[in-house]
Amino acid sequence: MSDAPLKDFPVVVPFTLHWSEMDAFGHANNARTFTWFESSRIAYFARVGLTGPSGAGEDRTPGGIGPILAATSAEYLRPVVFPARLVAGTRVTRIGTSSITIEHAVAGEDDGVLYTRGGCTIVTLRYATHEKVPVPAPIRASIEALEGRSFTP
């Protein structure tokens, strides 16, 4: 995929479109896009150590700090139809004081056709108190290492 639209995305997750993901109009339901974005985003977070507390309340990062989705968007460029092998990519475009801006894209695994692009804003949150906190320095450093560049707040 060196010439593919996702070549500059450090985390790319492959998956197959299932027949059940199609809607009455004969293409993948638009809501699936956000699941594909999420799968890639969570893989990215695992790579940089931003896994947050577990559903059972177990702290996985110092201080119980984890990501929470603040906003998300998608731009549908062309319909995805069955059968399809897809890849979803995630990259960080900005790190603020307590937020991370992410870009997502979904493309065909074999042909590189770009189907959807979008983004989201993640806020780093102390889950126990529901307070917004600064992006932890080790997380910022991990993102910078993965992206191969530095971000200034």
Look up the pTM and report it: 0.90
Of 1-10, 59-68, 108-117, highest mean pLDDT:
108-117
Lookup: tokens for 95: 């790190």
- Looking at every residue in the chain, the average pLDDT score rounds to 90
In percent, the amount of the chain with pLDDT more than 70 equals 90
Radius of gyration of the chain (CA): 16
Q: Which residues contact 132 (CB under 8 A, 6 or more apart)?
A: 98, 123, 124, 125
Evaluate if residue 76 carries a pLDDT over 50. yes
